[in-house]
Every structure is written in structure tokens, then in C-alpha cells.
């Protein structure tokens, strides 16, 4: 869990947030296990396609954290449609922005109003509702010709999805030329040197091609037989862990109890370095050279 703030209090909250994130689940967001398309489909309770209509971030309690309610409109179901499913869908996700404070789960999609997504949703979750964090989140973005294409988006960088390899993993085009980070391209007095020109990377799959690729895999995937929409949060019980005093702290407490002295660490004076004189170097006394 990443937390940013303009003052030093944010640093303390960042440390607390990281500890909270690690205590919620044994899974680490920064080390996501690669998943095949079949694995993504099997873990998905529902697969939806929709446009982000609104994002409402707020402070939640027990423990104190930022959450966001994301509402999708124009929703279509590629898997797991319930009998009473409508064209709107809501998710509660960890992270968001409240005032000057921002929390974000590493490698998780960043939902913005107006963006269109295809999401593989877990039946229930403890860390994030999307299967494999970014791996089950596909941003649908129109190209210059108006054709909707499928990309992964991580840290603000779009990676076109171009197909599936022989092992069943999604293939991503990663071209080096023209891919400099926006901060580098826009920075002043910074020159980015590119290597030799390389062929243009393959074009990303269109939305229709990607859905056609998913359909047979989703049809053969596990049916979770949901009675409620997927992406439901599982409440986590937090167990307090007592802090243990170190042996040094115990000694200081004992010393304070016996002598009434302040509980401080004894200060040790470091010995001064010895001055080694060069016998060949003359010494000056009273402006005169003296040889010893």
C-alpha cells in the first residue's frame, strides 16, 4: 500500500499503511504470480465490461484507511451474469484520494471517470477485487482511428496486448523507442537517448478480437454459482501483536527503578584520534622552523 502526502505526517502514515497491507494478506502486491488466460477465467466469479461513471473516495475505520466506491455504467457481462443484473455495477476498492492524502495498492488498476474496462472479478477478496491485480484488468482505449483496443495500464504506462503465447499467457508489446516516461520527456534540461530504430511493435488486439478470444475460455471456466455480485469484500479480523522490550530497554527500566535516573541510553565518549607527526616535516614555533 502506497501513501503520499505533502508533509512528514504522510511518511508515518505510509509506514503504518504498509504494515496494515502486509497484515491483511500473505500475498504481496509487488510480486504478483503470472497467470494464464485460463487461470484468470477460472478465478473469476464474474467478468464485466463497463465505463467508470463515478469514483467516491472516503476515510474508512477499523483500521483507518482510504477506500473508494467505483460505479460502472453501461455494464455488459462476459461471465457470471445474475438473473437480476442491471446495467450498473459498484465495487468497493482499497485506495483513493481524500484531500491531499492518496493511498494506492501497488500494481492495481487506477479507475478514472470515463475509462472503459473489462474486469475479471474475484467472487470475494481481501486485498483487491480484480484477479491478479493488473492482470485481470483490461483498459479499453480508442486509437487514432477510433478503434477500441485492449491495453494493460501500469503506473500510467499503457502496454498493448497483442495476443496469447503458446503457454496461454497474454503477450504484451513492449517497444523501447518512444516509450520514455512522460516525466522524462517533459522535464527541462533532460535529453533522452534512444537506441537504434526498431520495427514498430504489433498492434494491440481490438476490443472485438479480445472478447472473441475470451469467450471460449470463459465458457469452459469454473462456475462459482454466485448468489450475489462478485468483488465482495471479506472483513478481516485484526489481531493485536504485543510489543516486546529489548534487553537494553529492560536494563534501562531496571536502572531507572533502582536509581530514579532518567531512562536514557548511557552516552559513550568516542576516543579522539591520535595525532601522528611526520618526523620529516618541520614544526613552526613562534614563526621559526624547529627540527626535532
Q: Are strands 89-94 and 124-125 parallel, antiparallel or unpaired?
A: unpaired
Give mean pLDDT, residues 59-63: 83
Judge contact between 32 and 43, C-beta under 8 A.
Answer: no
Q: Is the pLDDT of residue 81 over 60?
A: yes
The stretch 84-99 carries a mean pLDDT of: 92
Give backbone dihedrals phi and psi of 90, rounded to 5 degrees, phi first: -120, 140
Grid cell in block for residue 273: 584520534
What pLDDT, on a 0 to 100 scale, did the predictor assign at position 90?
Answer: 95
Which of 18-32, 64-78, 247-261 has the weakest average pLDDT?
A: 18-32
Asked if residue 251 belongs to a domain, the reply is no
Express each pLDDT in 141-160 by its tens digit.
999 999 999 999 877 788 99
For 101, the domain range is: 32-189+197-233
Number of domains within the chain: 1
d(CA 185, CA 237): 46
Could you tell me if 170 and 37 are in contact, meaning their C-beta atoms sit under 8 angstroms apart?
Answer: yes
- Express each pLDDT in 250-269 by its tens digit: 888 888 888 876 655 555 55
The answer to whether residue 292 sits within a structural domain is no
95-145 pLDDT, tens digit each: 999 988 888 888 889 999 999 999 999 999 988 999 998 999 999 999 999
- Backbone torsion region of residue 114, taken as left when φ is above 0, otherwise alpha when ψ lies between -120 and 50, otherwise beta: left
pLDDT at 204: 92
Evaluate whether residue 275 is within a structural domain. Answer: no
Within-domain flag for 159: yes
- The confidence score (pLDDT) of residue 12 equals 42
What is the pTM (predicted TM-score) of this model? 0.66
217 neighbors 37 (Cβ within 8 angstroms): yes
Domain membership of residue 2 (yes or no) is: no
Stated length of the chain: 292
Domain-located, residue 259: no
Asked, for residue 258, whether it belongs to a domain, the answer is no
In a domain, 36, yes or no: yes
Amino acid at each position: 500500500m502506497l501513501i503520499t502526502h505533502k508533509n512528514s505526517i504522510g511518511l508515518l502514515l505510509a509506514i503504518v499503511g504498509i504494515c496494515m497491507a502486509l497484515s491483511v494478506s500473505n500475498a504481496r502486491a509487488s510480486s504478483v504470480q503470472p497467470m494464464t488466460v485460463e487461470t484468470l477465467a477460472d478465478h473469476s466469479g464474474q467478468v464485466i465490461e463497463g465505463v467508470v461513471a463515478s469514483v467516491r473516495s472516503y476515510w474508512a475505520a477499523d483500521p483507518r484507511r482510504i477506500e473508494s466506491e467505483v460505479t460502472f455504467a453501461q455494464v455488459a457481462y462476459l461471465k457470471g451474469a445474475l438473473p437480476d443484473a442491471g446495467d450498473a455495477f459498484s465495487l468497493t476498492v482499497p485506495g483513493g484520494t481524500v484531500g491531499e492524502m492518496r493511498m494506492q495498492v501497488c500494481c492495481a488498476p487506477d479507475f478514472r471517470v470515463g475509462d472503459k474496462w473489462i474486469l475479471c472479478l474475484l467472487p470475494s477478496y481481501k486485498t483487491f477485487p480484480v484477479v491478479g491485480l493488473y492482470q485481470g484488468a483490461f483498459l479499453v482505449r480508442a486509437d487514432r482511428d477510433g478503434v477500441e483496443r485492449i491495453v494493460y495500464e501500469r503506473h500510467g504506462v499503457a502496454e498493448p496486448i497483442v495476443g496469447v503465447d503458446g503457454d496461454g499467457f497474454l503477450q504484451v508489446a513492449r517497444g523501447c523507442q518512444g516509450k520514455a516516461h512522460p516525466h522524462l520527456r517533459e522535464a527541462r534540461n533532460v535529453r533522452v537517448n534512444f537506441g537504434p530504430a526498431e520495427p514498430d511493435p504489433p498492434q494491440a488486439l481490438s476490443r472485438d478480437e479480445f472478447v472473441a478470444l475470451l469467450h471460449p475460455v470463459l465458457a469452459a471456466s469454473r462456475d462459482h454459482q454466485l448468489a450475489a455480485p462478485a468483488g465482495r469484500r471479506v472483513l478481516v479480523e485484526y489481531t493485536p501483536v504485543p510489543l516486546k522490550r529489548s534487553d537494553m530497554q529492560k536494563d534501562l527500566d531496571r536502572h531507572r527503578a533502582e536509581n530514579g535516573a532518567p531512562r536514557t541510553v548511557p552516552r559513550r565518549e568516542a576516543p579522539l584520534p591520535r595525532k601522528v607527526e611526520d618526523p620529516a616535516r618541520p614544526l613552526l614555533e613562534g614563526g621559526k622552523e624547529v627540527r626535532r
